[in-house]
Each structure stands twice: as structure tokens, then as C-alpha cells.
Amino acid sequence: MTQLALVIDLNVCVGCHACVTSCKQWNTSGWAGPMVDENPYDANPTGTFFNRVQTYEVGSFPSTETVHFPKSCLHCEDPPCVPVCPTGASYKREDNGVVLVDYDKCIGCKYCSWACPYGVRELDEQQKVMKKCTLCIDRITDHTLPEAERKPACVIACPTNARLYGDVHDPDSEVSVAIRERGGYALMPEWGTNPANHYLPRQKTHMHVTEEDLQRSDNPLTKEDITVYQGEETMEDVTW
């Protein structure tokens, strides 16, 4: 079975919000109608977004680190938001594991948003239906697009390649390898939701510099230096 997902590399995310804007642009222009934006140029702008980039500070000054943290629906493998939906509007696609909302069935009861621990479902204040990340289902399943473009808008937009996309059930996929080899982890594992999306931790690169790195141990001139001069050598003996 296929389980499509994102893997977010916190090590390289610079918090530029390119994924947020490209997501909004793609999904507000699509078949499902616009995503509301109220007072966009005024005080208190508010609207529906599938993806948000948050910022955290870890540690205390001076040893702090800024962590930019993109967050969207994690397309859980055991999504608690799906069974609670009274209408069946929330569902998980059998073929690729993407969790979706059927906007024509949703009654806007908000129960699914209560049943998601991650706060990634947002009620559209104008259409009055629940909205959330679709993993750009209309791009990734569109076979008229060239293969390279059959990816979520955010993945294509990310300038630092912090967003990897693929099938986490295929052990050889880029995402599976990244999770396996770079310590990929899930959010709030305590609830057993089994999120498909994973995060790659920040890694500090420590450089260890030895004396030999600074001074080549096989430096021929160094070797020359340790020769003990007895006075009888000619230049032919010490150079070549």
C-alpha cells in the first residue's frame, strides 16, 4: 500500500514561508474554490491556510537556537479525525493514504478539528466547511503534468529543499531513506496517530581538527627537516 507524505528537514528550513504562500496560491485557485481571506490588508487579517510556518526558540541566551517549524496535516496512518466525522466527509484515500475532506458533504460541525491533536484543520469562515492540507491531491494525481511537477506546491516552492515528498511505505524512496538514516521522527507519538509526515531533526556539524590536519604528516619538506645533517651530504642527497 502507498502512503504519500512529506518529510520536513528542520535542519535546513529557514522560515521563509514560501511553502505557505505557494500552498495558498495553488489551493485558492483550484477547483474547490477560494480559501477565505478576511481583512487581508487591514488590522487583524485572518483566513484559511493549509500550512503554517511557526518559529520556536530553544535554549536560553546565549546558547539559543531558532527553529522554524512548518506544520500541516500529517496524513496520519490512524487518523483520529476520520472515524468521528458523522457524515463521512472526512476520509482517508485507500490508494495513497491522503486524508481528505469532501467539501460537498461536510456540515461544518467541527468535530474532526476537535479530534485532531495537531490543530491543522481549519473551518473556512465563508464556505463553512472544514479545510485542511490535501497534499495537493489535484497535482499529484494529475497525469497530464510532467512527472517532475507531480508534487505538492510547497515542495516545489521550497528554496532550501527542506520538504521531501514521497511514499513512506516504499523502503527505498527518498523519504523512507531520509527517515531511516537521518533520525526522522513523528509529532506527539503519545496518541498513536501514526503520522505519515515526519520531521528530520536539526543537526550540529562539529568539526574535529587534529594537528595532522593543519600540518601534513607526510609533508616531504617536514621529512627533510628531520634529517640529521652530518656535513658530508651534497645537495644530491637531500633533494631530488
Partner 1 sequence: MHPAFSVIFLTTLIGAGQGLFLALFTGQFYSTVELVEPQPASFYAVGSALSLALLVGGLAASFFHLGRPERAWRAAAMWRTSWLSREVIVLPAMMGIVFLYGVFHWAGWTQPFIVLGEGTLPIDATFVLGMLGVLVTLALFVSTGMIYASVKFLQEWHSPYTIVNFIFLGTASGFMLAAAYSALLGNHLVGFFGTWAVIATLLGLGTRTASLMRNASIKHRSNLQTAIGIRHRGIVQKSQGFSADSFNTREFFHHQSPETLKLIRVMFMVLVFPLPIALVLLAYALASPTLPILAFVVQYIGLIAERWYFFAEAEHPQNLYYQQIS
CB 79 within 8 A of CB 99: yes
- Give 78's contacts (C-beta < 8 A, 6+ positions apart): 192, 193, 194
Residue 7 grid cell? 518529510
By a kind-dependent CB cut-off of 5 to 8 A, residue 74 interacts, out of partner 1, ligand SF4, none, with: ligand SF4
CA-closest candidate to residue 117, choices 70, 78, 81, 87 = 81
Contact yes or no for 72/51 (Cβ under 8 A): yes
Q: Which is nearer to ligand SF4, 48 or 90 (CB)?
A: 90
- Taking the C-alpha atoms of residue 167 and residue 96, their distance in angstroms, rounded to an integer, is 8
String marking each residue 129-158 x if it binds partner 1 according to CB under 8 A: x-----------------------------
Residue 91 within binding range of ligand SF4, rule CB under 6 A: no
Taking the complex as a whole, the smallest distance from the CB of residue 113 to partner 1 amounts, in Å, to 6
Q: Which is nearer to partner 1, 84 or 177 (CB)?
A: 84
Q: Which of 199, 114, 128 is nearest to 163 (CA)?
A: 199
What is the C-alpha separation between 115 and 11, in angstroms, rounded?
A: 30
Greatest distance between any 2 Cα atoms in the chain? 101
Do you find a cis peptide bond into 62, omega within 30 degrees of 0?
Answer: yes
**Cell numbers found for residue 156:** 516545489
**Closer Cβ to ligand SF4, 16 or 109, answer by number:** 109
Nearer to partner 1 (CB atom), residue 104 or residue 236:
104
The verdict on 88 binding partner 1 (CB under 8 A) reads yes
- Taking the least distance from each CB to ligand SF4, the nearer of 118 and 216 is 118
| Contact footprint for ligand SF4 (CB under 6 A) | 73-76, 79-81, 85, 87, 89-90, 99, 101, 106-112, 116, 118, 120-121, 130, 132, 193
| Contact footprint for partner 1 (CB under 8 A) | 17, 20, 39, 43-49, 52-60, 66-67, 69, 71, 80, 83-89, 105-111, 113-119, 121-123, 125, 127-129, 185-191, 199, 201-202
